[in-house]
Amino acid sequence: MQSSEEHSVLLRGEQRLWLVTGVAGFIGSNLLHSLLWAGQTVIGLDNFETGHQRNLDDVQRLVGPEKWKRFRFVQGDIRDEATCRLACERVTHVLHQAALGSVPRSIQDPLTSGMVNVQGFLNMLTAACGAGVKRFVYASSSAVYGSHLTLPKREAVIGEPLSPYSATKLSNELFATAYSRCYDIQCIGLRYFNVFGPRQDPDGAYAAVIPRWIAAMLRGERACINGDGETSRDFCFVENAVQANLRAATTNNIDAINQVYNIAAGQRITLHQLFEKIRARLAERVPDLGDVKPAYQNFRAGDVRHSEADISKAAALLNYKATHDVTRGLDLTLNWYLSKLPREMTSRPVCRGCTDASSGKAGEQRAT
């Protein structure tokens, strides 16, 4: 599942004390795995609001008891200043992943998204400064491009935020820039583009599209497409995101510091194309899934129509390379879910709010 040897090479030669926030989450647990596998010492912080103990248990099983001894877990919330200060004690490098994701979630509950993603971010950044942390690498988002329509997306040009979530991530970048100028801390932001892979939660109201579709097909439910299926995204396998974090945290290139970077595969596919890729690969293992058709529901408020990243800046300054394209990433992801999810093929209900795929009906596009 992990490119552990590649990551070990990046970390060779120096012991650091790492803090990974959101460590029980999808990206956080993949970072923990790579760091422990490379013999690093890690403190993890999570409140289990969106993370899961099962992710930590999975990492423990994979790295073994000796490497697991290098991990210390702090259960707590980044909205609590004292918790942030405690987690940052003696830490040299912070990988800040903790946040409330999802555009729809932020539209439904902007106050909580703001408190976690903005106040929590400020708490962590302030605690890191107080603890003398050398480098603070944080998760930003392609959502900051907002209303800017030009493709591919380049870091220097963004539009206006289309959702509270995108506003929170833009504020993170602004605060990181201000702190890097006012205090002795090096900050690097990573604008993730639709990260997917093992341990991504397929359930819940705000589940991402790839795990949600995989789980739906394996459970005999209909996979729902928001809109007409021609929306496109730059899907980024989690190994690319892990690599980017480690490169950002360890680079000695002074020109790479206090910057933001697109982290993606650098290519986009439509939701229809994505559905076909998933269905075809699942049908190789479960033949009766070959005739599954999607259902359609309205475009979601706050979603952009198309997204694709220019990753040349990350390549030039961080030596980042997207080692996993969407096809390779899907193969690894499907293998993981097939080993974890039960197959329930007794029925195929159309999910609530969806229309049958054959009708082709979809709601009006509410944001582009």
Residues belonging to the active site: 165
Question: Are residues 367 and 304 in contact, defined by beta-carbon separation less than 8 angstroms?
Answer: yes
Output the CA angle 169-172-177, nearest 5 degrees: 135
Q: Where are the alpha helices (DSSP H) in the chain?
A: 4-11, 26-37, 53-63, 65-68, 81-88, 103-108, 110-114, 120-130, 164-182, 209-218, 238-250, 271-285, 312-318, 326-340
Query: What does the DSSP assignment read for 335-356?
Result: HHHHHHSPP--S--PPPTT-B-
State the helix-helix crossing angle for 326-340 and 209-218, rounded to 10 degrees.
50
CA distance 75 to 61: 20
Run of H or E residues at 46: strand 41-46
CA–chain centroid gap for 232, Å, is: 17
Question: Are residues 208 and 155 in contact, defined by beta-carbon separation less than 8 angstroms?
Answer: no
Query: What does the DSSP assignment read for 167-214?
Result: HHHHHHHHHHHHHHHHSS-EEEEEEE-SEE-TT----STT--HHHHHH
Q: Which residues of 185-218 are buried (b: 16+ CB within 10 A; e: fewer)?
A: bbbbbbbbbbbbbbbbbbeeebbbbbbbbbbbbb
Residues in contact with 238: Cβ distance below 8 Å, sequence separation at least 6, in sequence order: 26, 27, 30, 195, 196, 197, 198, 200, 329
CA–chain centroid gap for 360, Å, is: 31
Q: 281: how many CB neighbours lie within 10 A of its CB?
A: 19
